[in-house]
Chains A and B, each alone.
Chain A
Amino acid sequence: METSIFQYDFIIKGLLGAIFASITAGLAGTYVVSRRMVFLSGGITHSSFGGIGIGYFLGINPIVGAAVFGIMSALGVEYLSVKQKIREDSAIGILWAFGMAIGIIFIYLTPGYSPNLMSYLFGSILTVSNADIIALGIMSAVLILYFVIFYRTILYISFDEVFARTYSSYVDVFKYITTSLIALTIVLNIRMAGVVLVISLLTIPPNIAMLFTRVYFRIVIWSIIAGFIGTATGYAISYYAGIPVGATIIFTLVIIWVLVKTTTFLIMKLSKKKL
């Protein structure tokens, strides 16, 4: 069959994409959910759309533009919240809409038709390039190394920043580095899930894991497993049904959450009856 090589390539790409997306989203997502940074992450995602627009306009890789925007807005919000001169949620709300506005303006100003705009908003398998997969793979390695090497430091700073400051002068450095890595993770996953939906790729898997474990590193492991099942299944369904991949992945993840929630609820009910 002529299509078999194409299909094979497609499956490998999908599988690798699912593995790397779930590793990066699981590590970053557990941090985001534990530190209650979900709204900040949403702001980072949407402001990075400004970078995508400028990337288009200048004719450079939109993901590079998105990365610059994402990291800058992440650091900006962390900086503002440290200085406490502006309400953090207001700052995020402004960045959120400002990024989207810049993105739309520059895409509009770009001569010619922008066929990939929808793929950035909602994710698309067709636009996930080999370079995107490699970038996600490198990001997975960096995040694993970062979290393994600095596990205790990261855990304790995000649990109790005030106390961490009594023994460490690196609290702000680690906050900035971790937030930047999360911004990068979000941007690299935009190809898979799209600007609108990528935040759920980070937040749903840890919430599935937290239904049955409360230990940080176990939440990371189970997030990655849940994320992989959701992403791979969503990818496959999207391929065969011809529907957008981001939406399919999120839909699958929510179904998994409902199933696990129901199961843990039933187990709790049954074990209480026995007692």
Chain B
Amino acid sequence: MANLLEMHSISASYGANVVLHDVNLKVNENDFIGVIGPNGGGKTTLLRIILGLLKPISGKMVFNQGLLNGNSIGYLPQMSTGDINYPVTVTDIILSGLMIRKSVISRMSSADKLKANRVIDELGLEGMSKSTLNELSGGQMQRVFLGRAIIGDPRLLLLDEPGNFVDTTFENDFYEKLRDLNKRMAILMVSHDVGTISAHIKSFACVNRSLHYHPSHEITNEDLLAYGCPIQLVTHGDVPHTVLKYHN
């Protein structure tokens, strides 16, 4: 199994505030890692470093050549980016996921547009290709942004709190979709809701300034305590989840 990405003793800060300290992480093909930890613990910072949006103050990033040579990293940001009233169609938003391989003067080819149509079908957005975001539900918007992240067939998909704006009826479908995608690409998913994601992921990375890798999808409060990751394990609803060992 090929290594996609290695982080060696990465530290990152915003000004004097050190957010990540001495972080090591390997991402392999077919990985599905849940990145958990308290708010402000550095989860999103971890993604920003992988995306190259933030330069680490120390440490080394090793990327698989495939990640750099066109087989890009797909990214689903938190909902807050992007203006839902902006006059841009679903097709055009999904096509923007191809911009990483294009120069600033590029146009979209008919092959690109075919690809966008395939993604639209795959994500169940048929008939909405000409809609704008303000005509869609939260779950549909989520799928549009997922489409933008996967149209380039990335080998690594980064998801930042995808549960935040999904309607619960769609939540299961969404995680099922991720399971399908995981056959084609590694996934790194930031979430504060461990209970919801634990049934879908293969391993955990607990981030709270430092990073502890947990190579199993079963995690207990004791583990979290040992990792210095003070979050609550809560499961609810009909969401399939791993039954955790008894804890106080």
Chain A residues within 8 Å of B, Cβ to Cβ: 34, 36, 149-153, 155-156, 158-168, 170, 174, 210, 213-216, 219
Question: Of residues B89, B99, B100, B130, which shows the largest number of chain A Cβ atoms within 10 Å of its Cβ?
Answer: B99
* A159, B99: Cβ atoms closer than 8 Å: no
Residues of chain B lying within 8 A (CB to CB) of residue A152 = 95-96, 99, 102, 106-108
Q: Does B83 contact A (CB under 8 A)?
A: yes
* A163, B83: Cβ atoms closer than 8 Å: no
Residues of chain A lying within 8 A (CB to CB) of residue B53 = 165-166
Residues of chain B lying within 8 A (CB to CB) of residue A36 = 83
The answer to whether A34 and B86 touch (CB under 8 A), given A162-B81, A165-B53, A166-B51, is yes
Question: Of residues A210, A214, A216, which shows the largest number of chain B Cβ atoms within 10 Å of its Cβ?
Answer: A214
Residues of chain A lying within 8 A (CB to CB) of residue B100 = 166-167
A205 to B203, CA, bound (A): 54
Q: Does B32 contact A (CB under 8 A)?
A: no
Residues of chain B lying within 8 A (CB to CB) of residue A149 = 105
A211 to B184, CA, bound (A): 42
Q: Does B87 contact A (CB under 8 A)?
A: yes
Partner of B104, one of A150, A166, A219: A150
Chain B residues within 8 Å of A, Cβ to Cβ: 51-53, 72, 75, 77, 81-83, 86-89, 92-93, 95-96, 99-100, 102, 104-108, 130, 132, 148
Interface residues of chain A: helix, strand, loop or mixed (majority): helix
The answer to whether A156 and B86 touch (CB under 8 A), given A165-B53, A166-B51, A166-B75, is no
Partner of B86, one of A153, A159, A164, A168: A159
Smallest CB gap from A167: residue in B = B100
Question: Of residues B53, B81, B87, B99, which shows the largest number of chain A Cβ atoms within 10 Å of its Cβ?
Answer: B87
Partner of A163, one of B52, B88, B96, B104: B96
A126 to chain B, nearest CB (A): 38
A272 to chain B, nearest CB (A): 16
Nearest 6 pairs between A and B by C-beta? A167-B100, A160-B82, A162-B81, A153-B104, A156-B96, A214-B132
* B107, A216: Cβ atoms closer than 8 Å: no
B105 to chain A, nearest CB (A): 5
Partner of A168, one of B72, B99, B132: B99
A48 to chain B, nearest CB (A): 27
* B107, A163: Cβ atoms closer than 8 Å: no
Residues of chain B lying within 8 A (CB to CB) of residue A155 = 88, 92
A70 to B50, CA, bound (A): 39
Smallest CB gap from B93: residue in A = A159
* A170, B104: Cβ atoms closer than 8 Å: yes
A273 to B238, CA, bound (A): 41
A155 to B100, CA, bound (A): 15
Residues of chain B lying within 8 A (CB to CB) of residue A216 = 87-88, 92
B133 to chain A, nearest CB (A): 9
Residues of chain B lying within 8 A (CB to CB) of residue A165 = 53
Partner of A159, one of B51, B52, B83, B130: B83
Q: List 19 A-B contacts (CB under 8 A).
A: A150-B104, A151-B107, A152-B95, A152-B102, A152-B106, A152-B108, A153-B104, A156-B96, A156-B99, A159-B88, A162-B81, A163-B77, A163-B81, A164-B99, A166-B77, A167-B99, A215-B89, A215-B130, A216-B92
B210 to chain A, nearest CB (A): 25
A125 to B126, CA, bound (A): 52
Smallest CB gap from A210: residue in B = B87
A213 to B132, CA, bound (A): 10
Smallest CB gap from A30: residue in B = B87
